[in-house]
Amino acid sequence: MKTILLLSTVLAIPAFAGSPAMETAPPAPAPCLFTWFAGGSIGYLTEFEEPMYNLHVGTDTCWNLGGWNVALFAEIGYTERDEDWSGRYVPPQTPPVTSVPIPDSSSDILDDTDLEGVEAGLDELEQALYSLAGESVAGTGYELSVLPITFNVKLERPLTGNLNAYFGGGLGAALVDLDVNLGDFGNFSDDDWVFTGQLFAGLNYNFNPNFEVYGGVRWIYLDDPSLSDRGISGTLDLDDDFLFELGGRFNF
C-alpha cells in the first residue's frame, strides 16, 4: 500500500507544477516601402560662367550598401549663354570703283561655302564673331542652350544629428541648341543630342521628415555636338565643367 501511495504522489507532481510556458515568436519586421521625393537646385558653372537649374524626382529605396542608403532619381537641367557684338563696319561715303560690296544676304557667303570638320570651342566662336562684327553693319552674336536629362544613383548616410553626406552619379543625354547671328552674312542654326554624364557629392540637412536642403558640387561631362547648316558643318567643343549648387527637396 505504501508503495502504491508513493507512486501516485510522484506521478501527480507534474500536475502541481503546471504546464510549461509557450515561447512567443518575435514580431515580423515591418515591410520596407520605397518613398518618393522631388526637388530642385540652382548652381553656377565655373567654365560656362552661367547659372544652371535642375529639377528631379526619385525614390528612396530599401537597399543599403555598407551603411549607405540608396536612392534613384531622374533629373532635367537647363542652362544657356548668349553674347552679342555691335556691327563696327562703316561703309565709305564715296567708295572707290575697285571696292567689293559687303554681301547683303546669307546666300552670298554661306551657300557657296563648304566647310567640313570644323571644330571650335566657345572662345574661338566668340573671337570669330567679334572679328566678323568689324566687317558687318549689323551686329553679330550667338545663343547656346543645353538641356541635359539624366538617370542617377545617390548614396547617403547620416553624419551627426540631421546632417547627412551623399555622393553619386548619373548618365543620360543632353540637347544642345546653337543659334549664331552672322550679322550682314545671315545666320547659322542647328541642334544635336549628345551623351552626358555627371558625378556629384555634398551635404544635406533634414529640417523635418518632409523637407531638406542640400549643397554640393558636380562634375559634368558633355560630348561634342555635331552641327551643320547650309554647307557649314563641324563640332562644338564644350569640354567638361564644375557646378556648385544649392537646392531643396520634399520627401513624401
Domain map (residue ranges) of the chain: 34-85+106-251
SS3 at position 45 = strand
**Cα–chain-centroid distance for residue 34?**
23
Does the domain at 34-85+106-251 match CATH 2.40.160.20? Answer given as yes
Across the range 171-198, mean pLDDT stands at 94
* Residue with cell string 570703283: 97
| Per-residue confidence (pLDDT) for residue 150, from 0 to 100 | 98
The predicted model gives 127-150 an average pLDDT of: 93
- Evaluate if residue 113 carries a pLDDT over 50: no
Average pLDDT over every residue of 73-92? 92
Q: Pairing mode, if any, of strands 68-85 and 51-65?
A: antiparallel
Residue range 170-196: mean pLDDT, rounded: 94
pLDDT of residue 28: 67
Exposure pattern of 42-80 as b/e (b: 16+ CB <10 Å)?
ebebeebeeebebebebebeeeeeeebbbbbbebebebe
In the predicted structure, residue 215 carries a pLDDT above the cut 90? yes
User: How many angstroms separate the CA atoms of 122 and 128, rounded?
Assistant: 10
pLDDT at 231 (0 to 100): 77
- pLDDT tens-digit readout, 35-60: 999 999 999 999 999 999 999 999 99
Angle at 243 between CA 242 and CA 244, to 5 degrees: 125
pLDDT the model gives residue 31: 75
What value does the mean pLDDT take over residues 16-30?
A: 61
Q: Residue 103: pLDDT above 60?
A: no
State residue 114's pLDDT score: 42
